[in-house]
Amino acid sequence: SQKIEQNSEALNIQEGKTATLTCNYTNYSPAYLQWYRQDPGRGPVFLLLIRENEKEKRKERLKVTFDTTLKQSLFHITASQPADSATYLCAPGGSYIPTFGRGTSLIVHP
Amino acid sequence: DGGITQSPKYLFRKEGQNVTLSCEQNLNHDAMYWYRQDPGQGLRLIYYSQIVNDFQKGDIAEGYSVSREKKESFPLTVTSAQKNPTAFYLCASSMGLAGTVQETQYFGPGTRLLVL
């Protein structure tokens, strides 16, 4: 069955550093992959979509990579700020039913 | 303002009672979804609908029912058969179907259901 793995442990970093979150998937080959941000008590918000033929996608301080050989996507936030603290979900796409990873909590300390 | 709304924000259910959660969107999206989220857990798909008058079961449909009579609306009923309904319920919509690049989902603010 399809499986999406995101680090269940929270990632703690200092303000100004680069945060890197990992999404691994198995048993399928998504044509694209999405990243969402979720704040406590709120619905997820779409951030970025990267297609299988794109190695890297950037949006302001965000960067996403997609390695279809490793079956992995990395999500980077450069110059992180306390306001970036949230849970980040990955969602490999292309399957008939939408699926989300459990998310990784990012905590940016001032 | 275009968006997706859910009501109420908090809902209390008594034992044996059916309750209905509202979800409305004015984004002109074809597809709509209902998810359940438990503390510290990911999103679990309850039901989804790709077009009006059609809907499909997700991973955890037992104890829930939906309808899609209008494009804008996708209400979820939590029936008395759902023995553990306490959770955060999220509704979402997307322009296109799951499996296409138009499946980027736009989520509502959520409804928190509590059992009395």
Which chain A residue lies closest to B107 (C-alpha atoms)?
A: A43
Convert the pLDDT of each residue in B96-110 to its tens digit. Answer: 876 676 688 999 999
Q: What is the 3-state secondary structure (H, E, C) of B70-81?
A: ECCECCEEECCC
**Which of B92, B104, B109 faces A49 most closely, judged by CB atoms?**
B104
Which residue has better confidence, A13 or B39?
A: A13
Percent of chain B with pLDDT over 90: 78
Which residue has better confidence, A95 or B64?
A: B64
Mean pLDDT of chain A: 93
Q: First and final CA of chain B: distance in angstroms?
A: 35
**Are A34 and A52 in contact, with CB atoms under 8 Å apart?**
no
Chain A / chain B CB contacts < 8 angstroms? 55
At B32 the pLDDT is 95
Name residues whose C-beta falls within 8 Å of residue B39's C-beta, 6 or more positions apart in sequence. none
Burial of A101 (0-12, 13-18, 19+ CB in 10 A): buried
- Give yes or no for A103 touching B (CB within 8 A): yes
